[in-house]
Amino acid sequence: MGDCGLIVSTKRTVRRIFYVAYPLLPVSNESCGGAEQMLSVLESEMERRGHLTTIAACAGSQASGAVFVTGPECREADRFEQRNAEHESRVLELLRRTRASRPAFDLIHDKSGSFWRCAAECALPVLATLHLPRHFYAPELFRDIPPNVYFNCVSEAQLASFAGLPNLLGVVQNGIRLKQFRFTPDKNNYLLWMGRICEEKAPHLAIEVAQRASLPLVLAGQVYPFSYHQNYYNENVRPYLGNSNPPISFFETPTLDKKQRLLAYAKALLVPSLVDETSSLVAMEAMACGTPAIGFRRGAIPEVVIDRVTGFVVDSVEEMAEAVWSTSEINPHACRVHVEMNHSAERMAREYEKLYENVLALEAKRTARRAA
């Protein structure tokens, strides 16, 4: 983690943590979105460590602690603004109800990407984790930031892009539940792409790589309820399914068990993103299974994938296709050890636990100055 001036205590204080999820889709083990997956992992780990947790999310969400349902899962295209407004309104209503006496929570951890804009209406400190590249956020979101908002990033590359943002407290890299991903040194002869089906994640480039390498490709993921995602899928992915040589198959919204098996037996995971990835949970998951990841040299990919040790970091489709044939040089055990050492859920939870204490201390100082 970056230098946040963290407060380290030998005695753990039980905290009441209120997590605000992305509003569209449920949070659970089966989530396809990175922010939802990461929240599911973090919340369960914090509950295991003795903290009291609540997740504000749509219907169908699951948690180790409590779930506060803010509305139905959104299945209709292009209703994000309406659903997000409902989500934020329900969260604020709950916070207003519970602040009359002793507040029900010590801290809000915003994983939604936007709730922190409402922090002026809250009597609690808000830690907002920035999951996306900076250019995905409208510039006006970072104007007139409420003083009780604190930020963290998920990689050093992302942190550099947010230089100058007030109350930016450093980096906590994402982590995964290692026990969910079975280590398998023996691989089958197919390539895998897994994620959200959209242009910036570039499954169309994975298709091109598979065609260049003359290897079967498995696509697995979810088409989100946005018309431009659905149009992209219909125009750039669907025409190749079932009619290509080598074959290309698609598993939509795979179960956790199916996802684990696909990751464990793939020859390699392809990460041909067209944006600067701020992290890559799927690369961590693949490497935990002993499967090498091959990704473009963008954003945090070189922080997650160790070139020629746990996979390959490349600069073009041509290089990605060539790297496929060098995966035998990658030791599957080295992939697993790298994830165990750097990307475990336990490590992530420890660092967030320290960051929560730092946020609460900073907020207490701010409140004291204001009172004086």
d(Cα 290, Cα 198) in Å, to the nearest integer?
27
Q: Domain ranges for the chain, please list them.
A: 16-175+344-371, 178-342
Nearest by Cα to 306 from 337, 277, 276, 328: 337
Q: Are 107 and 356 in contact (CB under 8 A)?
A: yes
Q: Are 312 and 296 in contact (CB under 8 A)?
A: no
- Give domain 178-342's CATH superfamily: Glycogen Phosphorylase B; (3.40.50.2000)
Kindly report the pTM of this predicted structure: 0.92
Label residue 365 left, alpha or beta by phi (over 0 means left) and psi (-120 to 50 means alpha): alpha
pLDDT over 90 (residue 147): yes
Nearest by Cα to 197 from 230, 227, 240: 230
CA distances from 177 to 171, 281, 288 (A): 19, 11, 10
d(Cα 81, Cα 88) in Å, to the nearest integer?
11
pLDDT over 50 (residue 8): no
Q: Are 90 and 118 in contact (CB under 8 A)?
A: no
Residue with tokens 């830690």: 127
> Given 3-state DSSP classes, what are the helix, strand and coil percentages for the chain, each rounded to the nearest 5?
40, 15, 40
pLDDT at 242: 84
The token pair at 287 is 């490497």
CATH fold for domain 16-175+344-371: Rossmann fold (3.40.50)
First to last CA, the chain: 33
Nearest by Cα to 93 from 66, 125, 62, 71: 71
Nearest by Cα to 148 from 349, 327, 342, 364: 364
Find the range with the poorest average confidence among 17-31, 295-309, 354-368.
17-31
61-112 tens-digit pLDDT:
999 999 999 999 887 778 889 999 999 999 999 999 887 667 789 999 999 9
Q: Do domains 16-175+344-371 and 178-342 have the same CATH topology?
A: yes
Q: Which pLDDT band, with edges at 50, 70 and 90, does 301 fall under?
A: very high
DSSP state of 74: P
pLDDT over 60 (residue 218): yes
The token pair at 81 is 């603004």
Count of other CB atoms within 10 angstroms of residue 344: 20
312-342 tens-digit pLDDT:
999 999 999 999 999 999 999 999 999 999 9
